[in-house]
Structure 1
């Protein structure tokens, strides 16, 4: 048995080496040729480099919109006079951004990658301009929903195209580039939003997307082949067949995601957890999720004419379940910290939006370090992937644990940057792994859906966690400060948190202390999510003894079998 385990371990490790990746690509070509099809054709040369640039700059544009509006919200509400609905400027974008990722990916299987990607980017550009021209808060919220729809397709299809345009031996490099663009967009978003708000009209937060977006759209039209990724495969044709679209499944998913985020958003806006505005959307969302899974199981069998938007086989694969779970938890930690770190320095440290945004540099710089390291360790050093999942969890847990114990007197302590860097390395390693693995654990026909699902779960985790920790912190602060300040002063502070600096001492110090403890409470909640990464990773671990079958998504020798690449798995064959 030990011999079998060792052999399985060696095969898994070897699968990540460049030499065996090349062998695997040759084997794939041979099998494809035997089946009567053409060998896969990858992009090369100037077209590859230009398309890589265009896709990653598109990532930056659509991803920066998640964070850039945060520091511009005060200017927006001052102009459009709709503070009570201001949170929906962010939430409306997130709802469509998260809800349509898998749907867009599945639609591209029927139409084509190029058509859906171009349509999505064009939608994002058009409605970015429209958002900049909005004259009422209702108009802006509605336009943001359509802007998020375009962003959803641009981001999910961009990642799918990026994984299909190069051989698997280059995935670690492209995973690192994606992590870098993700970090840059979320890191620079608050800084850009603050600079725009301080120096010009808030409308440029949206209008600045239009000129570069038009250029990227034109370059994408030229660079991306019409029949991508099936160049040379004359047997494959893309056609929209409505009977094959999983309309019911897509609708149930949209309802489930929308209502779940709506319920948590209501809670973050001081609605009691037991109120109808909070409970009703969450309960109905739970029912919609159950119906969605039941229906997807019903339509998954191959004999069905409808192609499921979320194949049931994902739910029966421990590796994919663990992968999606880790992606969800990564989103809860990563996105919440990107918002929380600048906010705590603005409120408690009384810093400007630009200066507070610069506080993210240590955390942001660590993300590509972790992501790059994970890819290199897998490919060059043959480190088992599951060890890197555990290492990512360890770094994240240690960073959050010590960050949550820092007192308000140490707000300027330089060691905080070190703790942020450690946490960022953990998030970067996890981001690199969850981005790298989908092509190795999913069948070829499910690749687009699996890749989009990983992105969607990460974004969903971030949206839900941000609403959750905000709701818990707001209710805690309200309970602590209501007897001290009274309802009017407390309402003014929540309306404009920086107004607490106008309070007299020692009241101002008391209020800042309460806010600081609230932020530390948020970090402890995130710490709980980080600990949950361990059982999520354990789902991907399976010892296999002599005589047990091999399959996609199983674990071997205490590692993740990434489709047994040397043996030819992982490509759908």
Structure 2
């Protein structure tokens, strides 16, 4: 505490009585304001708890993003060792189905069972089945382990993001968001490098096993850092429930079981058909059409379920309350999250594959070539969250600039040569696109607390991430289908083969004669450029979605510079007056 100096007026030393009374009244008011401010901020973490909580949540995001991308460079070695080339697609599909389906469900569970224990449970599941993936002896074991790993990964994203919103006051959200962006980008950067290096040395199991010690450390940090009653630990009226109360009928009746079932089923079915359509399932086949129809029915039923339980307020708490549909800025944020997930997910797969298929580089070298993309996503997210948004720049302007940068970077990818060479200009395209994606992802990460009610903090963070994951899956399906169809219609030497057999033949292009090799490599380069043209369309759509977030009056800002300055000044004045009052009371006792 600052000691009162000669420059600080101490109430009680004024010679006029009326001044004394006025000063005493002002001091008492300031003391009350200071106490209210302290009570208001007491729910936030401070000191070592804050540092450990920040580290643990960032580790969660790092682990999930690394595992999403690690398989891309390790999968070939996994399939060869476990002798399961016919099932290789399900190593990725199984993970993505559960990961995409469970994000918002975990977020809602944290409302009922508490942030701390839900976060620990998700990390425990993720860590245990990461170890199971590393120990798998058959492809079936690997696929099952990946399915459960995806369940844990979904919660490792949504629950820590909610904790990040709640452990610091609003004016510190930009710094927290910058840390999250950096952790996520570093995970996406480390995944391909770890997968490439371990598979190249014949030690692919470490692509999964490295998560085990980091996961255990994360659980310990969460246990130490988060109070059991987080985020209500500063509320004197909050009664911390026992575990018996948490699993009581009254508590469980808050669960939107029907909504969770419909969301889980609808998402799993649509993700499965999108990822396997054209490969193990023909688009026009009966199973594919049935999956589309059933998924569509479940999505419609899910929306009806959420509308009914939101309109008829009961104990049950909807997973996606209908009030979201009437919140235009929030729906615009969700669409932005959906669209931004498309180029990101495609590029972290497209760029390394382009290097391996077209230039013939090793998996590790291909992963290294992706470094500029991930680095600039991280740097831009940090700058946008930590500096630009913190200075009160309107969110719509950041989204607009980020969308335009994305379009420019993807257009640059489209003009890459199709003769089998990859020039240095690809790094410029990576940097420009990374700048745009980093800006959009960084600001959308901070939007939920700005446009939704406080009671919806958890489910809004889950919805934001679930929309991003769904966008990534849809984009992957569309671009992969376009890629495969282009090769199928332009590589006439393989037109009699099925799609999966054609892709296997393309992977062995180096075994053909020079003429055939040149034809395959040229068509591959053209197909990769076609994917970039599709991505331009999705990124351009973001520019039109800005109209949903635009406001005629004051624009949405992460931090209002004037309000923050006034709040800081008020807190400082209140603190100073409190000290002066205490000094005055002490002087009175001495007198």
User: TM-score, length-normalised on structure 2?
Assistant: 0.84
State which drifts further: 431-440 or 399-408.
399-408
In structure 2, the partner of 1:18 is none
Structure 1 position 510 matched with structure 2 position 519: yes
Gaps of 5+ in 1: 1-26, 544-555, 569-573
Cα pair 2:488 2:495 within 8 Å, conserved: no
Q: 1:445 aligns with which of 429, 450, 455?
A: 455
Cα pair 2:200 2:364 within 8 Å, conserved: no
When residues 61 and 530 of structure 1 are mapped into structure 2, their CA distance, relative to the original with a 3 A threshold, is: same
Q: Which has the larger radius of gyration?
A: 2
Question: What secondary structure, in the 3-state scheme, does the structure 2 residue paired with 1:244 have?
Answer: coil
- CA-to-aligned-CA distance 1:512-557 (integer Å, 9 cap, x gap): 11111111111111111101111222111232xxxxxxxxxxxx35
Cα pair 1:330 1:431 within 8 Å, conserved: yes
Structure 1 position 325 matched with structure 2 position 327: no
Aligned-pair CA distance for 1:561: 6.5
Partners of 2:279 and 2:267 in 1: how far apart? 19
Partners of 2:80 and 2:379 in 1: how far apart? 40
Cα pair 2:450 2:556 within 8 Å, conserved: no
Aligned-pair CA distance for 1:486: 5.3
When residues 376 and 313 of structure 1 are mapped into structure 2, their CA distance, relative to the original with a 3 A threshold, is: same
Aligned-pair CA distance for 1:504: 1.1
**Equivalent residues, number:** 526
Aligned-pair CA distance for 1:493: 5.3
Structure 1 position 537 matched with structure 2 position 546: yes
Question: What secondary structure, in the 3-state scheme, does the structure 2 residue paired with 1:100 have?
Answer: helix
Partners of 1:130 and 1:270 in 2: how far apart? 26
Aligned-pair CA distance for 1:510: 1.0
Partners of 1:475 and 1:410 in 2: how far apart? 20
State which drifts further: 414-423 or 483-492.
483-492
Cα pair 1:329 1:461 within 8 Å, conserved: yes
Aligned-pair CA distance for 1:234: 3.5
Q: 2:47 aligns with which of 45, 49, 60?
A: 45
Cα pair 1:194 1:354 within 8 Å, conserved: yes
Partners of 1:484 and 1:399 in 2: how far apart? 34
In structure 2, the partner of 1:400 is 410
Aligned-pair CA distance for 1:418: 1.1
Q: 2:72 aligns with which of 70, 73, 87?
A: 70
Partners of 2:165 and 2:390 in 1: how far apart? 20
Q: 1:116 aligns with which of 115, 118, 122?
A: 118
Aligned-pair CA distance for 1:507: 1.6
Aligned-pair CA distance for 1:315: 1.2
In structure 1, the partner of 2:483 is 473
In structure 2, the partner of 1:107 is 109
Map 1:187-198 to 2 at 5 A: 187-198=189-200
Aligned-pair CA distance for 1:142: 1.4
Structure 1 position 365 matched with structure 2 position 371: no
- CA-to-aligned-CA distance 1:62-105 (integer Å, 9 cap, x gap): 22111111211112211222222211111111111121111111
- CA-to-aligned-CA distance 1:274-297 (integer Å, 9 cap, x gap): 222322212221221111111101
In structure 2, the partner of 1:560 is 556
In structure 1, the partner of 2:533 is 524
State which drifts further: 375-384 or 126-135.
375-384
Partners of 2:324 and 2:199 in 1: how far apart? 44
Partners of 1:561 and 1:316 in 2: how far apart? 20
Question: What secondary structure, in the 3-state scheme, does the structure 2 residue paired with 1:408 have?
Answer: coil
Partners of 2:315 and 2:391 in 1: how far apart? 45
When residues 120 and 465 of structure 1 are mapped into structure 2, their CA distance, relative to the original with a 3 A threshold, is: same
Partners of 1:48 and 1:504 in 2: how far apart? 61
Question: What secondary structure, in the 3-state scheme, does the structure 1 residue paired with 2:311 have?
Answer: coil
Question: What secondary structure, in the 3-state scheme, does the structure 2 residue paired with 1:357 have?
Answer: helix
User: TM-score, length-normalised on structure 1?
Assistant: 0.87
